[in-house]
Amino acid sequence: MACHHRVRLWIVFTALLVIAGCTKVDPVPESNVVVLPSDEMESDLPVIDGILEPGEWDQADLYFFEDESELFLLHDDDHLYLAIRAVSDEMISANVFLASEENIAILHTSAALGTAVYQPAGNTWQKTRDFEWCCRSTIDNASTRAMREAFYHTDNWLGINTYNGTENELEYMIRLTGAEEFLAVNFLRVNNIVNKQVWPIGINDGPAQQTIGGFPDTMDFLPKNWQKLEEVPIN
């Protein structure tokens, strides 16, 4: 039954990515000798493997979504670390929104990883970079680690797709440039994509709006209503 359940979820996630414009093929790694960025970090920092191990996020500040799902946040000089643990055991996908004065980056995790970018255009925000999906593999080996490493170096963040790790948990390591000012997060359950959980609770702009079928070319963002990054605890 668990195998059949995962097959059905894979079909649903693949359909969602196709609807959103998933047409790119994962790059073939040039080498199987891999050192992921997380392997080089200090031992007391989270390992980005999609599993929230006991004690791993104890140093982070704990926040809550409206349904009491948990959000963990901390950062050091170079990276923001973020994790989600949903209250139910259902598989989840998520978007992390990072805003600077010049753009908003959307870091998406579901059956694949991808980044979209919006820039201000009058009273709205215009999409200037669409998602190019990567790292769909359901196994963890040298080849898929090389893909994640390449993705980290091009997109400046690292995650694990939702078919690896724990179904209701996600982890991110995001390289900061220093220009980022505001943060918002949402997640949804693959079996209930309409019921989106949003943080900070109470915001009603882009992160809270329905985007079934993919993110539109223009969106309404009010990042000054989001979390200030300078208030996230420093490790």
Answer yes or no: is pLDDT of 28 > 50: no
Reduce the DSSP state of residue 5 to 3 states and report it.
Answer: helix
The Cα–Cα gap between 185 and 198 comes to: 6
**Bridge partners for 93 per DSSP:** 188
Mean pLDDT value across residues 107-122: 96
Please tell me the predicted confidence (pLDDT) of residue 76: 82
Please tell me the predicted confidence (pLDDT) of residue 214: 86
Mean pLDDT value across residues 171-180: 95
Kindly provide the residue ranges of all beta strands, DSSP E only, lying in the chain, ordered along the sequence: 61-64, 70-75, 79-85, 92-99, 104-109, 113-121, 124-129, 157-159, 169-175, 182-189, 192-199, 218-219, 227-228
The Cα–Cα gap between 159 and 11 comes to: 21
Answer yes or no: is pLDDT of 16 > 70: no
Show me where the domains of the chain are located.
2-231
Q: Which of 169, 197, 168, 158 is nearest to 80 (CA)?
A: 158
Please tell me the predicted confidence (pLDDT) of residue 39: 52
**What is the dotted CATH code of the domain comprising 2-231?**
2.60.40
The mean of the pLDDT values for the chain is: 85
pLDDT (tens digit per residue) in 129-166: 999 999 998 888 889 999 999 999 999 999 999 999 99
> Residue 183 — pLDDT band, cuts 50, 70, 90?
very high
Q: How many CA atoms lie within 13 A of 156 on its CB side?
A: 15
Q: What percent of the chain has pLDDT over 90?
A: 68
pTM above 0.75, yes or no: yes
> Residue 72 — pLDDT band, cuts 50, 70, 90?
very high
